[in-house]
Structure 1
Amino acid sequence: MTVPPLTVLISPDKFKGSLTAAEVAAALADGFAAADSPVAVRSIQAPVADGGEGTVQAAVSAGFVRHRATVLGPTGEDVDAEFAYNPDTATAVVELATASGLDLLPGGVLAPLTATCHGTGQLIGEALDLGATTIILGVGGSANTDGGTGLLTGLGAKLLDAAGNELPYGGAALAELASVDFTDFDSRVEHVNFVLAADVDNPLLGERGAPAIFGPQKGASEEDVATLDAALANLVEQLAAARPDKDIRGAAEAPGAGAAGGAGYMAMAIFGAERRRGIDVVIDFVGLKEKIKDANLVIVGEGSLDHQSLLGKAPVGVADLAHERNIPVVAVAGRCLLTEEQIADAGFSKIYALADREPDPKKSMANAAALLKGVAAEILSDHSKD
């Protein structure tokens, strides 16, 4: 019997700590090419991200140009950051984690009260210098809970105390904020379409706000959370006084305002950003709706498939797109913590977990590419039996 050819869309997220999304896709494609199988395979590699870490790399894989810049890190040190730019569409992808992420904290020492996203503001300025008219701000993995004030200072605004002195960076200092000076703020921001790629729907303040929900992950104690929440509340009032032309208070209550320590708030309040689910934004800029047209199998994946994956993360977002077109979906993962019912509800016809092939996590992560090549052969074998 002749087995029909197979066009596979390979669209995974990263395997964190092991392989980038592009490396996962390449390993699977290599495995298909090397497999001893009667099935002829055409692989379409389209690595994705969920709007957080890896979003710039996904854009570069889709044809955007990588740009690098030295900017201010989360605790004031210089860091080498990057963003992606498409000159044909004048679209930039700015990933907060590359300039203001937890992974950039010196020695891994958390700084919940003083960390800033100033460097991300500087990256936005770099994108504006290239002529960007659309800027996608991907948030996730942030070190800061500064209400997004670093975005403002990185673009020229000044945060002043009652004596007219500039405040130090970080959320705690906002308790002393008396005015916001927009005199030297980059006016080009007003002419740019901003998109906030954020999955969280938390407001800025209160029990579900940025300090209360995400502050402890960044090292905030119970006392720190109270300090930050009060400081951010003061920020809202002072910002409202400085910018009566904007719905500053309304933005604080908007879903997603609590993203990235309040960077989501500032993006919506001052930049007028539209909040969208991260994977939906990525699906658009990598052209996945066009690439999926010819596929008769879609492969998704990430390092750990768990309950968090079901909350709009990349594998489920891509699977949703495939299901709209009645295309079967399989998933690859470093490990799978989902129940059979959850797997079925997510629409994955099968999960191929590297942990089932190499139980030792360290060995599995170190040899992930080779293991994925074997998974590709197994996927082909299973397909030929269907």
Structure 2
Amino acid sequence: MKYVVAPDSFKGSITSMEAAKAISRAIQEADQQAEVVELPMADGGEGTVDAVLLSRGGVKVTCRVEDPLGRVITASYGWIEEEKTAVIETAAASGLPLLKAEELNPYEASSYGTGQLLRDAMEKGAETIILGLGGSATVDAGVGLFQALGLKVYGETGQEISRVGGRLDRISKVDAAMLEPRLKHANIIVASDVTNPLLGKDGAVAVFGPQKGLAQDQLERFEAGMASFARVTAKAVQRDMSGEPGSGAAGGIGFLLQSLLTVEFRSGMELMVKLSRLEEHLDGADIVFTGEGKVDGQSLFGKVPVGVARAARKKGVPAVAFAGMIGDGLDRLQAEGLTVVIPIVDQPMALKEAMIEGERLLYKAATRVMQLILLEKREIGREQNE
């Protein structure tokens, strides 16, 4: 039998590569004749670089950058020399995982480090840049990112502001004249499944601000600052991109990307399906295994298990998803090709313990599923012999 193993990460527990290895080990121990294709997946967030490099080849490049609070760290991005392609995750330099809970500070947090990664990639000769927007700790509308690339911003008295963070209400002028010129010639593909606009009840502040550390009584002030910055930027570039789908992604980074550059927004999941050649690998497959930390009705909106299931449905291949947690709306997922969702937790335990034990729990769940598959295979064989 041919098995395709294409999970996302179980966030906070195991990476997509670790998940794929755990499932593959269970398959190979149960069926020594199995053909197993490992395709760790991602949706533009955590694990995107590893997933692309595994399927396309390439290496990781490291460089010194600023974290969201301006501390110097070492971050990495993917580099495919033959294609002159860089794969960058916003979270690598500007992400929530870089900060402790008590360090979350949207007033100070900047996306500057992500801009440094982009600059390093262009200095290596990048012609294509895949930028995954996900997991940022910032609500700075991408100002920090573009300051690392030459953008100048000024206050009311004409002074240049070097580190703005989320205090966007301080900005009264935007000057992109010194922006890195190579940006205009690069093919920039933004991998994101966030379609939220910059402003309003569905915008960057209202929807994503709290997870980045904004308290409820801070939202109104941040929204006003974001709206002010949007007006200043629209005046500078002669177009208002604040209502465009995706402008609210990554704390508003999507807004400046759309305002200052010509970029292509792509569904992170759909992009990974293409880059990994998932549909090609599904040819001749008997089953595909996928999964992530939580599977529910919201998985319809750009999540890996549903993306894999949709690709499998086209090929007539059943899809099985493993989940750390299962929510409501699974009946809607079955219509998309997700045959069954299997919880990996096999006994009562605290969430912290389950996350620590994620790899072991996934392996055991995959082992149980393989026992059922082989039992069915034996039953079919017996019926054919009778």
Alignment TM-score, normalising by the size of structure 1: 0.90
Deviations 1:113-135 (A, max 9, x none): 22111111111111111211111
Cα deviation 1:339-386 (Å, max 9, x = unaligned): 552453343222222113574544443333333333333333322305
Q: 2:54 aligns with which of 57, 61, 80?
A: 61
The CA distance in 2 between the partners of 1:343 and 1:242, in whole Å, is 45
| Residue equivalent to 1:271 | 261
Task: Tell me the residue number matched to 1:313.
Answer: 303
Q: Within 5 Å, which residues of 2 pair with 1:95-174?
A: 95-105=89-99, 108-170=102-164, 172-174=166-168
- Residue 49 of structure 1 corresponds to which residue in structure 2? 42
**Structure 1 residues 360 and 205: CA distance shift in structure 2, 3 A:** closer
Q: Out of 10, 13, 21, which is 2:8 matched to?
A: 13
**Any idea what SS the aligned residue of 1:349 has?**
strand
- For 2:373, give the aligned amino acid: H
Cα distance in 2 for partners of 1:313, 1:107 equals: 26
Unaligned runs of 5+ in 1: 1-5
Give the letter aligned to residue 51 of structure 1: G
CA contact (8 A) 1:147 1:262 kept: yes
Name the aligned partner's letter for residue 59 of structure 1.
V
Segment drifting more, 179-188 vs 90-99: 179-188
What is the rounded CA distance, in whole Å, between the counterparts of 1:23 and 1:358 in structure 2? Answer: 23
Distance in 1 separating the partners of 2:360 and 2:215? 43
Report the counterpart of residue 282 of structure 1 in structure 2.
Answer: 272
Alpha-carbon spacing, 1:120–1:379, altered in 2? closer, same or farther (3 Å): same
TM-score (norm 2): 0.90
Q: Distance in 1 between matches of 2:295 and 2:316?
A: 22
Give a deviation string over 1:262-290, Cα, whole Å, max 9, x none.
Answer: 00111222122121211111222222232
CA displacement at 1:223 relative to structure 2: 4.3
1:25 aligns with 2:15: no
Moved more, 287-296 or 115-124: 287-296
SS at structure 1 position matched to 2:76: strand
How far residue 159 of structure 1 moved from its aligned partner, in angstroms, is 1.0
* Between 348-357 and 193-202, the greater mean CA deviation after superposition: 348-357
Q: Which amino acid aligns with 1:268?
A: Q
CA distance in 2, matches of 1:155, 1:81: 17
Q: Give the Cα–Cα distance (whole angstroms) in 2 for the partners of residues 49 and 59 of structure 1.
A: 9
Q: Is the 8 A contact 2:345 2:361 kept in 1?
A: no
CA contact (8 A) 2:26 2:370 kept: no
The offset of 1:104, in angstroms, is 1.5
* Matched AA of 2:327: L
Question: Counterparts of 2:167 and 2:196 in 1: how far apart (Å)?
Answer: 22
**Structure 1, residues 71-99: CA drift from partner, whole Å, max 9, x if none?**
11111111222111211222211100111
Distance 1:130 1:351, change over 3 A: same
Q: Tell me how far apart the structure 2 counterparts of residues 308 and 277 of structure 1 sit (CA, whole Å).
A: 15
Match of 1:197 in 2: 191
C-alpha offsets along residues 9-30 of structure 1, whole Å, 9 cap, x if unaligned?
1000011222111011111111
Indicate conservation of the 8 Å contact 1:173/1:231, yes or no.
yes
Q: Contact 2:306–2:333 at 8 Å: present in 1 too?
A: no
1:1-47 CA distance string (max 9 Å, x none) = xxxxx111100001122211101111111122222x4x721100000
Give distance in 1, aligned partners of 2:177 and 2:333.
Answer: 54
Q: Secondary structure of the equivalent of 2:41?
A: coil
- 8 Å CA contact 2:237, 2:259 repeated in 1: no
Give the match's secondary structure for 1:88.
Answer: helix
**Number of equivalent positions:** 375
1:56 touches 1:94 (CA, 8 Å); kept in 2? yes
CA contact (8 A) 1:17 1:365 kept: yes
Aligned to 1:258: 248
- In structure 2, the CA distance between the partners of 1:359 and 1:337, relative to structure 1 (3 Å rule), is farther
Tell me the distance in 2 between the aligned counterparts of 1:364 and 1:239: 46
Identity %: 37
Which residue identity does 2:372 align to in structure 1? D
Q: 1:296 and 2:280 equivalent?
A: no
Tell me what 1:3 maps to: none
**Are the structure 2 counterparts of residues 286 and 114 from structure 1 closer, same or farther at C-alpha, using a change threshold of 3 Å?**
same
The one-letter code sitting in structure 2 at the alignment partner of 1:164 is G
CA contact (8 A) 1:145 1:170 kept: no
Structure 2 gaps of 5+ residues are 378-386
Cα distance, 1:324–1:34 mapped onto 2, change above 3 Å? same
Tell me which amino acid in the other structure corresponds to 1:48: M
Give SS of 1:290's match.
helix
Distance 1:57 1:163, change over 3 A: same
Change (3 A) 1:156 1:293: same
Counterpart residue type for residue 40 of structure 1: Q
Q: Tell me the CA shift for residue 137 of structure 1.
A: 1.2
Is the Cα–Cα contact under 8 Å of residues 354 and 371 in structure 1 kept in the other structure?
yes
CA distance in 2, matches of 1:211, 1:195: 24
SS in 1 for 2:228: helix
